[in-house]
Chains A and B, each alone.
Chain A
Amino acid sequence: MRPEDRYQQKFKRHTNQLSYLTIDLAELKNTLLELKHEFRFPVLLDIWGLDLDEHVLKEQGKFLIRYNLLSLETSERVVVQTFLKKKERLPGVGELWEGAIWYERELQEMLGVSFEVGTMHAPLLLPREMRSNPLLKKFKKHPFPILPEENGESASFESYDDYRYQELGSCHPAIRSQEGIGLWLKGEKVEEVFLDIGWHHQGLEKWCEEQPMSHIGPRIETLSYESGAAYHIGFLKCLEELLGLSIPDRAMAIRMIIQELSRVADHARNIALCALEGEQRMVFERAIALRDLIMTTLIRAKREAGGVILKVGGVGPKVQDKWFFHLRHIVETAKEMAQEIDLCLTGSQSFMKRMKVCAYTAPEALNWGFSGPTLRASGVNYDLRQNSPYYFYDQVPFKVPLGVDGTPYSRYLVRIEEVMQSLIIIEQVLENLPLGPLSTDFDIVTDLEGQLKNRGAQNHYSFTEVANGELGFFLDYQEGKNPYRMRIRSTSFPILQSFEKKMVNHFWDDAVVSFLSLNIIPEELDR
């Protein structure tokens, strides 16, 4: 039995991989349970909502809540949506998926959605000074009352008996990024973990609502340094599908190259940090050199093309052919370097001993909503480039490496093999680089508004595989140039969430290794 036959008119197919299911609030929990167990949609990718204050559907309710589910077998997605009227409460789905809790906390603080009794949550991303809900349409920006609280929190975290409080943030040298991680330790073992995120929360989703769609792309690029270009491509893909543009073959191929390059750089940085943690100083320098090589290549391409390599409808008009000749040499060098890292690190006993800790099993990883290398390291064969291919990924043969046990060591193995496979993909694309124009005639400045008006009000979800997993963009368009609502499906958000419960009863220095190999990007996490 398929979901179409079961739900009939409530089930609408959008594309062949994405469908919408609109149901009443009372049936919500049962429907999600049915979808999870009977129709095999085991992964909860995202929960988000939008304020219907200025929307076409505003008579139906106050909020529209959407649950994004994924089936691994058919790689289909279903978006379960329900309307929430004033004074109605949403049931929590934390019993079905553990990964739902942070999304619900986000809903509560951003939109002011209230939950049923027993599922009340504390704020997650916003500071304590903030009393209003920013994603409401009535929200007005006002300057914060800036009063840094002196010794507000630290008083309650004094150690007692044989319990000790250890802070791994926000500027701790061991983790090199900024999330507040507090560990309650008994001896060397972790008893409880406190995560405090939102240091880099900048309200990007709200900012996007105030901008024309043409302005959003470059801002998305700053979410990550190594794979920033890949993030930009992810957004452009979504916008082009919304506008109904088809881009030329040559542009698609160049975008594939850029995406794979940034994947190599991101993995190389992560391998370098893991190597440093495993006391392999030489390998660290080698891996950082690999990352620098790739980043320099990308920066060189950008500089030669006059600052623009990506634009709506293709790639920048000045991307030069001589860069591709340069790239062939770079790929060869990078391959040698990757092999060298592989040779030094994979067989190293001390490194292995340090990294084989804190295993994530496959059901756990699915329960938390993992994607990308962290999911594949647990042994789940799911890669968007093969399961739902975009651009020319279905024409390029490559392997998807799988891990066995989900330890940091198998994550490292998956990453180093993905580096090799990415370089192989780049080589193949360079050999068969199609000729033709670099972009369509579409001019974003003059044609945007007319094109959007022709297409009418609609919404679209698009996804790409970046270094960290599935990056999704959901654009809801009503009128004018701006999006009505834009949702970024962050890759780090579900991954960090699992850290809170997984690290209990592990040694605290293992927690550091595990955290590093999860590859959390703080700016992208907080958005």
Chain B
Amino acid sequence: MKNRIFQRKLKLRPIIFGSGCHVAPLLSLFQKSDIVQYEGGGVIQYGPSEANLLIIPSFLNPKLLRELKRVYDQMPAPKWVMALGYHIDPQGRTPYGAVIGWESFLPVDIYIPGMPPSAEEVLKGLELLRDRIRGGVIASRTLEESITDEA
């Protein structure tokens, strides 16, 4: 059991959803940063069926949300979601295109605010996420459940 959790900690395989302004710096961050490479094994996946961490870098509009749901459903069982960007602006200055309250469809494990967040903040967020994984916390359901599902 413990062994499995340890394995999972090493095999964090992110997939980055979205494109445009936020994605390019994120991709280079994941490819170059030593912390991600050695501690988390953050090898970027290009298909959802092999990934276990979904990173949502910018805001969502209804059209994109439909696709996001499809990607999320294709990911295998123990999966984590990380959301960055300004779609969680507390003052509500988001444009009309943004969907508010999409968290009810995708349980989000960790939010990183900022427009866009800096590299340090993203790495800090990853550390936090790793702590949560070590503790067996998962937003979609508890880890034990998902393990029994797999078996």
Q: How far is the CB of A207 from chain B (nearest CB, A)?
A: 4
Stretch among B6-14, B33-41, B64-72, B125-133 lining the A interface: B64-72
The reply to whether the CB of A203 lies closer than 8 angstroms to some CB of chain B is: yes
Q: Assuming A201-B61, A222-B21, A225-B20, is B99 touching A170 (CB within 8 A)?
A: no
On whether the beta carbons of B105 and A146 are closer than 8 Å, the reply is yes
On whether the beta carbons of A148 and B96 are closer than 8 Å, the reply is no
- By a CB distance below 8 angstroms, the chain A residues around B59 are 202
- By a CB distance below 8 angstroms, the chain A residues around B19 are 176-178, 200, 522-523
- By a CB distance below 8 angstroms, the chain B residues around A203 are 95-97
On whether the beta carbons of B101 and A127 are closer than 8 Å, the reply is no
Give A292 to B47 CA distance when docked, in angstroms: 25
Give A178 to B105 CA distance when docked, in angstroms: 21
Interface flags for A69-85 (1: CB within 8 Å of B; 0: not) read 00000000000000000
On whether the beta carbons of B98 and A202 are closer than 8 Å, the reply is yes
For A225, give its contact among B24, B48, B69 (CB under 8 Å).
B24
The reply to whether the CB of A204 lies closer than 8 angstroms to some CB of chain B is: yes
The reply to whether the CB of B63 lies closer than 8 angstroms to some CB of chain A is: yes
List residues 201-231 of chain A with CB under 8 A from any CB of chain B: 201-204, 206-207, 222-226, 228
Q: How far is the CB of B113 from chain A (nearest CB, A)?
A: 16
For B97, give its contact among A202, A224, A228, A522 (CB under 8 Å).
A202
Give A351 to B20 CA distance when docked, in angstroms: 27
Which label, helix, strand, loop or mixed, suits the secondary structure of the B interface? loop
- By a CB distance below 8 angstroms, the chain A residues around B25 are 225
- By a CB distance below 8 angstroms, the chain B residues around A127 are 61-63
On whether the beta carbons of B65 and A148 are closer than 8 Å, the reply is yes
List residues 39-77 of chain B with CB under 8 A from any CB of chain A: 46-48, 58-59, 61-67, 69, 71
On whether the beta carbons of A224 and B61 are closer than 8 Å, the reply is no
Q: How far is the CB of B101 from chain A (nearest CB, A)?
A: 7
Q: How far is the CB of A228 from chain B (nearest CB, A)?
A: 7
Give A148 to B66 CA distance when docked, in angstroms: 5
List residues 86-119 of chain B with CB under 8 A from any CB of chain A: 95-102, 104-105, 116
For A228, give its contact among B21, B69, B101 (CB under 8 Å).
B21
Q: How far is the CB of B117 from chain A (nearest CB, A)?
A: 13
On whether the beta carbons of A207 and B21 are closer than 8 Å, the reply is no
Give A229 to B21 CA distance when docked, in angstroms: 12
On whether the beta carbons of A201 and B17 are closer than 8 Å, the reply is no
What total of chain A residues lie within 8 Å of the partner, measured CB to CB? 36
- By a CB distance below 8 angstroms, the chain B residues around A314 are none
Q: How far is the CB of B35 from chain A (nearest CB, A)?
A: 19
Interface size class of B (residues with CB under 8 A): 35 or more
The reply to whether the CB of A144 lies closer than 8 angstroms to some CB of chain B is: yes
Q: Which residue, of A141, A224, A228, A292, has the highest number of chain B Cβ atoms within 10 A?
A: A141
On whether the beta carbons of B97 and A148 are closer than 8 Å, the reply is no
On whether the beta carbons of B21 and A141 are closer than 8 Å, the reply is no
On whether the beta carbons of A170 and B65 are closer than 8 Å, the reply is no
Q: How far is the CB of A141 from chain B (nearest CB, A)?
A: 5
- By a CB distance below 8 angstroms, the chain A residues around B21 are 222-225, 228, 523
Give A130 to B96 CA distance when docked, in angstroms: 10
The reply to whether the CB of A182 lies closer than 8 angstroms to some CB of chain B is: no
On whether the beta carbons of A204 and B105 are closer than 8 Å, the reply is no
The reply to whether the CB of A162 lies closer than 8 angstroms to some CB of chain B is: no
- By a CB distance below 8 angstroms, the chain A residues around B66 are 148-149
- By a CB distance below 8 angstroms, the chain A residues around B104 are 146
Q: How far is the CB of B20 from chain A (nearest CB, A)?
A: 4
On whether the beta carbons of B62 and A129 are closer than 8 Å, the reply is yes
The reply to whether the CB of A134 lies closer than 8 angstroms to some CB of chain B is: yes
For A200, give its contact among B64, B71, B99 (CB under 8 Å).
B64
Q: How far is the CB of A380 from chain B (nearest CB, A)?
A: 29
- By a CB distance below 8 angstroms, the chain B residues around A522 are 19-20
- By a CB distance below 8 angstroms, the chain A residues around B67 are 170-171, 199
On whether the beta carbons of A171 and B61 are closer than 8 Å, the reply is no
For A146, give its contact among B18, B23, B48, B65 (CB under 8 Å).
B65
The reply to whether the CB of A173 lies closer than 8 angstroms to some CB of chain B is: yes
For B96, give its contact among A141, A146, A177 (CB under 8 Å).
A141
On whether the beta carbons of A198 and B63 are closer than 8 Å, the reply is yes
- By a CB distance below 8 angstroms, the chain B residues around A206 are 95-96
- By a CB distance below 8 angstroms, the chain A residues around B63 are 127, 198-199, 201
- By a CB distance below 8 angstroms, the chain B residues around A139 are 96
On whether the beta carbons of A146 and B62 are closer than 8 Å, the reply is yes
The reply to whether the CB of A118 lies closer than 8 angstroms to some CB of chain B is: no
Q: How far is the CB of A251 from chain B (nearest CB, A)?
A: 25
The reply to whether the CB of A397 lies closer than 8 angstroms to some CB of chain B is: no
Residue of B with least CB distance to A172:
B46
Give A127 to B62 CA distance when docked, in angstroms: 6
* Shortest Cβ-Cβ A-B pairs, 9 listed: A523-B20, A203-B95, A127-B62, A222-B21, A207-B95, A202-B97, A203-B97, A225-B24, A203-B96
Show 27 residue pairs from A and B whose CB-CB distance is below 8 angstroms, ordered by the A residue. A129-B62, A141-B96, A143-B99, A144-B62, A146-B65, A146-B99, A148-B65, A149-B66, A171-B17, A171-B67, A173-B47, A178-B18, A178-B64, A198-B61, A199-B67, A200-B64, A202-B59, A206-B95, A207-B95, A224-B20, A225-B20, A225-B23, A225-B24, A225-B25, A228-B21, A521-B20, A522-B20
Beyond A148-B69, A170-B67, A204-B95, 19 additional pairs, beta carbon < 8 A = A139-B96, A141-B96, A143-B101, A144-B99, A144-B100, A146-B99, A171-B71, A178-B18, A178-B19, A198-B61, A202-B95, A207-B96, A222-B22, A223-B21, A224-B21, A225-B23, A225-B24, A228-B21, A523-B20
